[in-house]
Structure 1
Amino acid sequence: SLLARSIRALSEGQKGLLSLCRFVLQKPGLLILDEPTNHINFRHLPILAKALDEYRGALIMVSHIPEFVSQIRIDTVVDLEHGTK
């Protein structure tokens, strides 16, 4: 279990997941996430997507993975294709 391991023994992705879990458990009204999938093992992406989909506050997120974003119910998506506005 991740909780039984020293923080030094965790990968960057595991540290990121634990940080996100901590924030979600605090139930903030707003989450601002910049590439939340960075350093996360691909097998954990569905877990992260489900957690964000179930989050009931406001969410502002930057992601370069449209397949990940499509798994989350989002009211508004701004797509900047190839850096154009």
Structure 2
Amino acid sequence: MCKYVFDASRIDTSPGNPLSPFSPPHGWEGGKEYYRNWLRSEFRVNPNLRQRLGIAVRARSLNREIHVFGSFRMELLEIIETFGKKGC
């Protein structure tokens, strides 16, 4: 059972999901590198994204399962791992 209002163990990267801060806008047609750049920009201005990224990094550090799915799954998993190594 989830302890949060949202299920922090499930992260959607599909474009157009208004409930996921990791989801680019509806109609997004950018590729993987554009996604990374978009995520960097969002990280600077979106406290929800920063908080959810911190939750994901913490969950991974505690060996808790997170399910990342959608178009940019691999990119986000790499970012989560990178943040975890930096100790952010």
**Same fold flag (TM > 0.5):** no
| Structure that is richer in strand per residue | 1
Larger radius of gyration: 1
TM-score normalised by L of structure 1: 0.31
TM-score normalised by L of structure 2: 0.30
